[in-house]
Structures are given as structure tokens and as C-alpha cells.
Amino acid sequence: MDRDDCAGKKQEGFSVARMLEERGVSRRDFLKFCSTVTAAMALPATMAPKVAQALDKVQRPPLVWLEFQDCAGDTEALLRSANPTVGELVLDILSVDYHETIMAAAGHQAEANLEKTVKEFQGKYLCVVEGSIPMKEGGAYGCVGGKSHLARAKQVCGSAAATIAVGTCASYGGIAAAAPNPTGAVGVKEAVPGATVINLPGCPCNADNLTAVVVHFLTFGKLPALDSHGRPLFAYGKRIHDNCERRPHFDAGQYVEHWGDDAHRKGHCLYKMGCKGPATFHNCPTQRFNEKVSWPVAAGHGCVGCSEPQFWDTSPLYRRLPNVPGFGIEQNADKIGLAFAAGVGGAFAIHGAMNALRKDKEPAADEETKEGGE
């Protein structure tokens, strides 16, 4: 649906509800989608009606999607999101004016659409950036439509109401920024310091988190609360380790020692195989991928920490992290059990000593009572 069609339908009293009905999506399904997004944003369930109301009445801003030094993995993730039908509807409502991978226009026509959006909707459109931005040689290592990635980012991100950096490359530079970083690749915020940017790192970004950020912006007119790395707290506020289904095995000291061993087949903890879950903040265990079917750790591979800055250089993928606080590190179930047994034994010993002291005092107290009675 192009912008003229949207404008015409608005004049006729157009609403999201009517669009959904025309496309065969019931109001009930739409409300379910709003409830799912509300939960993804870590908001109380009572906010779901407000989200639905906002999507039904929102002034629909245009959206442009830029691809720089990337593998298009985030676009692929979007196209295979858990809620593809409604997710596409939300982006339809936003009027996606430019996206190199999925738009019908090409060449000069495509670039003209982008220029028109930036000019006519300055400060009102949303921008999504996928891929890192090369800074060396004045940005000469990346060019689209006769403009360098750096120049395009300054133009488009600098004029957007908000820019969403999807994936680790757009957030921090990604694999392209790995040492020795020959192109001088950086994330959007570093390339365009004055832009309003929210980072959604991950290889790839979880499309549910992207949808939640867009819905939050449409509902509240602002971006959600962010952490020190510019990531939304609702998606990056907790460690993967804290929500991992293998956490009980970590606490019990049950680890995979070699790929394919008995512990691996039983689903034990992957910490010793290099899992970076204890140092990585992301909601992968709860949001998951492939229609929420699975995620890397559930499939038997440790977390590589892809949502953290410089994960590609800070620690080899299959080298375990330094000791992490918790029962599981360098422990096993027997040692933990002995520690608990010693603690319980000590508690009983103290309890017994206190009882003995009380008994020693009780006769004296009885004698005082007798003397008072006399």
C-alpha cells in the first residue's frame, strides 16, 4: 500500500481494525498480537488495550530501512518473524518508503523515494539501519546511489525522529569491526553522534524486539528506557544465564566436557564449552527464534555473546569465561551437597548448644520461683 492510498483511506475514516478486517485478520488476533508485544516490552498486561488503541489511532509515520556493511541477516530475520502477518501489517501501517532488499523500485526511482521522504517528513520518519558504517578514507569503503554510507547515515539518521540500529553491526560495528578493522567500521551512534539511536544488537536482531520498539514508539511517542549501551531494558535487562533452561545444571555443576558426550546429549550446561551466557544481556531464552521454537543454547550450542560490544575480539568463541559467581563453577553436585550438609550440621550443633544453655538456666529459674512462693 503506497502513501497516497493510506492518505485516501485516512480521509474515509481508515483504521487499523478496518485494515485487519480487509486482510482477513480478526480483531481478536490483533488483540493477541498487542498482548504479545506488551509482554515483550515488559509492560503489565493491563497495558495491552492501550497498545491496541494507540495502533488504531496513531498518526502513521513513514519508515526507511538502510543497509550498509551487512549480510542482510536482520532483514531475513524480519521476513521470518514469529508474527509475520501482523508484523508486516505494522510495517505497512508505517509505510515503508525505502528498503533495498524488499522494495519494488530500483535505481534512481528508489533513491528519489528516499530523498523525498527525508525532505518531506524531516524529524517525523523512523529510520532502521542494518550494517556497520565504514569511516576510513572518508567512508570510501561503502557506497550506495553515489553516496557513501557515512554521508547517507548523516543525512538520513540525522533527520529522523529516531533511528533503530538492528543487529550487532549497526549497533557496534560487528564482524566488520573485528581487528584490524580495515574499513574503520563503527556503529550508527559513533558515526552520527547527534542522532537519536536505539541499539538492538544480536546476530541477527530478534524481529519481535524490533516490533516491540516500534510499537512502544507509536504508543508512547518516545523510545523505551535504555541501558548504558543504548539497548532497551525490556530486551537486554537480564543476563541470558539468568533465564537459561540449562541454569539448573550450572548450579549443580553438571557440564558438557566434550561435544557429543553424554552430558551434551542430556542437555547439561555449556559453560565449559565457551558459553558466554553469564556475561551476555539479551532475552533470547524467552523470546527465542523461528516462531519461538528454539534458540542456540536449546539447540546445543553455547551463547557467543553476540549482543555485547566487541564480542568478536574479547573472548574466543570456544574458550570458557573466567570463573563466574555461582555454585556451579569448579564445583560438582557432591561438593555442593557436602557443603550444605556441613552447614546444616553446624546449624543443628548451634541449636543443641542453645538448648543446653536454656536447660542449665531453667533449674535456677524454678528455684527462684519456689523461693518467691515461700
For 136-153, how does the pLDDT look when each residue is reduced to its tens digit (9 = 90+)? Answer: 999 999 998 889 999 999
The letter for the amino acid at 184 is: G
Per mean pLDDT, which range of 17-26, 97-106, 304-313, 335-344 is the poorest?
335-344
Which stretch of DSSP H or E encloses residue 96?
strand 96-99
Query: Which residue's C-alpha cell is 536447660?
Result: 359
Is the pLDDT higher at 84 or at 241?
Answer: 241
Cα R_g (the chain), whole angstroms: 28
pLDDT of residue 42: 60
pLDDT beyond 90 at 197: yes
Please state the residue numbers annotated as binding site: 71, 169, 203, 241, 244, 269, 275, 284, 303, 306
In angstroms, the CA 16 to CA 196 distance is 28
Domain ranges of the chain: 3-236, 240-314
**CA dihedral of 37, 39, 45, 51, whole degrees rounded to 10:** -20
Q: What's the whole-number mean pLDDT along residues 175-184? A: 94
Cell of 20: 485487519
Which top CATH class is 240-314? few secondary structures
pLDDT beyond 80 at 278: yes
Is the pLDDT higher at 214 or at 257?
Answer: 257
Mean pLDDT, rounded, of the chain: 80
Per mean pLDDT, which range of 261-265, 275-279, 280-284, 313-317 is the poorest?
313-317
Please state the residue numbers annotated as binding site for [4Fe-4S] cluster: 71, 169, 203, 241, 244, 269, 275
pLDDT of residue 269: 96
Per mean pLDDT, which range of 94-98, 245-249, 254-258, 291-295 is the poorest?
94-98
Q: pTM of the entire structure? A: 0.74
pLDDT of residue 102: 79
pLDDT of residue 208: 86
Please state the residue numbers annotated as binding site for [3Fe-4S] cluster: 284, 303, 306
pLDDT beyond 70 at 227: yes
Per mean pLDDT, which range of 14-28, 178-192, 236-250, 272-286 is the poorest?
14-28
Long-range contacts at 147-154 (CB < 8 A, ≥ 24 apart): 149/68, 149/69, 150/191, 152/66, 152/68, 153/66, 153/68, 153/129, 153/188, 153/191, 153/192, 154/191, 154/192
Q: For the chain, how far is it from start to end, CA to CA, in angstroms?
A: 102
In angstroms, the CA 65 to CA 127 distance is 6
- Could you tell me how far CA 290 lies from the centroid of its own chain? 15
pLDDT beyond 50 at 201: yes
Is the pLDDT higher at 222 or at 174?
Answer: 174
pLDDT beyond 50 at 369: no
In angstroms, the CA 343 to CA 353 distance is 15
Q: State the pLDDT confidence band at 84, using cuts at 50, 70 and 90.
A: very low
pLDDT beyond 80 at 351: no
Q: What's the whole-number mean pLDDT along residues 63-91? A: 76
Is the pLDDT higher at 306 or at 22?
Answer: 306
Is the pLDDT higher at 358 or at 29?
Answer: 29
In angstroms, the CA 356 to CA 143 distance is 84
Q: What's the whole-number mean pLDDT along residues 22-32? A: 71
Per mean pLDDT, which range of 106-110, 113-117, 255-259, 278-282 is the poorest?
106-110
Q: State the pLDDT confidence band at 28, using cuts at 50, 70 and 90.
A: confident
pLDDT of residue 175: 92
Q: What are phi and psi of 172, to 5 degrees?
A: -130, -5
In angstroms, the CA 163 to CA 152 distance is 13
Question: Per-residue pLDDT tens for 293-332?
Answer: 899 999 999 999 999 998 888 878 888 887 766 554 444 4
What's the residue count for the chain? 374
The CATH number assigned to the domain with range 3-236 reads 3.40.50.700
